[in-house]
Every structure is written in C-alpha cells, then in structure tokens.
C-alpha cells in the first residue's frame, strides 16, 4: 500500500511513540530491579565512604577548601540522581540549596544546613539501599562532573589551550602571551582557569595551581590530562548516555552535550 507524506509522517510518529513507551517501560523495570536488589556495600566500603565524607564536610565547615568543595559537589550530584531514581523529589530541592551553600563558601559562608541534611541522608542510604544503586549514582555523578568541566573548557577562550601548553613546555608566560596576541595578565588568567579544570579532571591528583611556577611544577601531569581530553569526554558522554538508556533519567541532556563536544572537536 502506498502512503502519502502525511500518512507516513503519522505512522512514523506513532512508531516513535511506541518505541518511547517501550523504553520507558524497560527503564522503569531496570530501576525496580536495581532498587529491589538486596546486596549492600561492604562494611569496609561504607566506613571508607563515610570517613571521607565527614572529613570533607568538617574541612569546609572550618575553612574554604577547594578540593572539599569539588568533592561535596560530587556528593550533591550523587544524591540528586539518587532522588530521581527513587522518585524522591525533596532531594532536588535539598540539592539546590546545598549547591547554593557551597557556592558561597569562598565568600566566607561556613553554615551548611542543607548540605548536612543531604550528607545524613546519604549516610542512611549507604547503609540501607542497594549497592548497585550507590555505585550507579556515584559513577553517574562522576561522569557528569567530567562533562561539566569539559563544557567549562570548551567555553574558555581559544588561546587558553595553547598558552597553557606553551608554558608547560618551557616557554615564559610573556612569550606565550605574545604568540597568542594576548595581554600578559589576561593570558595568566586564562591559563590558571584552564589549569583549574584540568585539576578537577584529575580528581585531586593535580593540586590547584595558582601561579606560573606551580603550573611549571605540575606541567607533565597537566599536559597528560590535556592530551586525553577528547577520550575523557567521549567516555564520560558514553557513560551518561548508557545510564539514561538503562534508567530513563540523567542529570544532563546528553544529546545536547554530545553535540557541543562534537562541534568543538570538528572546530579544533
């Protein structure tokens, strides 16, 4: 039977609707299976997680600590996606408020009631919910954190990448700035911002660099992370897409993010 254009379009929409419904059904089943799993994290793993969690929280209550802020943002992402998987919308509100508290840390905020509430709830979940849920939330939060830093790097000025590379390979900042046709103070600012995100991608193995000498001190590690940006982004995007396909939820619009990364790769 020959179909006209309108009929073909209607048929395609109907098929797409059925496919979407089927995917929603599968993801709902996957969530139920994961949430119903009776396996729990081992006692050692639970204790290690809680010790690190409370050390980081105590650090941030005492004074601003960049690495503690990075780690606790990861915790917030973990609980945000946990709330979506378990249909606990209150987590979303708590996560928003805890994020606001953390973002005011550098300005002197030392009061974190919403973050503390999330941490206490995470402690309960670690003890009482599926190990598969906890591991899935942790992995998704980590992948989303990587993508956030990749997006921040994409939005850096084009010269930032080359300036950092030149300085790490032995050039003076003055020479690197001149080659990039950028004022030296601006070149320094771009380089340090770029290095900041590379440190985040290293998950703390590269200290935050706040000066040219510190950049040079960690040049080898920074260049290594820089050289793997494309594969790091691809792996994180694949992990987020797989998570969304399995469970029907995600913290980012992976298609939009992947398109942005692809456009950046094509322009490079």
- Output helix, strand, coil percentages for the chain, rounded to the nearest 5: 80, 0, 20
CA distance 69 to 180: 33
Dihedral-angle region of residue 219 (phi above 0 means left; psi in -120 to 50 means alpha; beta otherwise): alpha
Name the pTM for this structure.
0.87
**Six-digit token pair at 87?**
């249909």
**What DSSP designation does 140 have?**
H
Split the chain (268 residues) into runs of 10 and give each run's mean pLDDT: 50 48 75 92 96 97 96 98 97 98 97 98 96 97 97 93 97 97 97 98 93 98 96 95 95 84 66
Residue-wise pLDDT tens digits, 134-189: 999 999 999 999 999 999 999 999 899 999 999 999 999 999 999 999 999 999 99
**What DSSP designation does 135 have?**
H
CA distance 236 to 253: 13
Q: What angle do CA 174, 177, 179 make, to 5 degrees?
A: 110
Q: Which helix (H) or strand (E) holds 156?
A: none
For 157-210, what is the HEC assignment? Answer: CHHHHHHHHHHHCCCCHHHHHHHCCCCHHHHHHHHHHHHHHHHHHCCCCCCCCC
């Amino acid at each position: 039977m020959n179909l006209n254009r309108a009929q073909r379009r209607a048929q395609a929409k109907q098929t797409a609707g059925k496919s979407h419904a089927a995917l929603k059904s599968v993801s709902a089943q996957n969530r139920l299976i994961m949430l119903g799993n009776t396996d729990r994290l081992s006692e050692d793993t639970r204790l290690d997680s809680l010790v690190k969690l409370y050390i980081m929280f105590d650090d941030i209550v005492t004074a601003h600590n960049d690495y503690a802020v990075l780690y606790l943002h990861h915790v917030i992402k973990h609980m945000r996606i946990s709330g979506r998987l378990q249909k606990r919308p209150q987590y979303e509100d708590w996560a928003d408020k805890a994020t606001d508290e953390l973002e005011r840390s550098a300005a002197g905020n030392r009061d974190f009631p919403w973050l503390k509430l999330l941490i206490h709830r995470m402690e309960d979940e670690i003890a009482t919910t599926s190990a598969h849920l906890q591991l899935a939330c942790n992995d998704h939060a980590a992948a989303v954190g990587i993508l956030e830093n990749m997006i921040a790097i994409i939005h850096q000025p084009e010269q930032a990448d080359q300036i950092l590379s030149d300085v790490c390979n032995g050039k003076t900042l003055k020479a690197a700035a001149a080659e990039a046709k950028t004022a030296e103070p601006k070149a320094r600012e771009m380089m340090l911002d770029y290095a900041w995100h590379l440190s985040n991608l290293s998950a703390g193995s590269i200290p935050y660099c706040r000066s040219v000498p510190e950049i040079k001190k960690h040049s080898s590690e920074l260049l290594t992370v820089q050289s793997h940006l494309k594969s790091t982004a691809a792996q994180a995007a694949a992990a987020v897409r797989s998570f969304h396909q399995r469970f029907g939820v995600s913290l980012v619009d992976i298609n939009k993010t992947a398109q942005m990364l692809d456009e950046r790769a094509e322009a490079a």
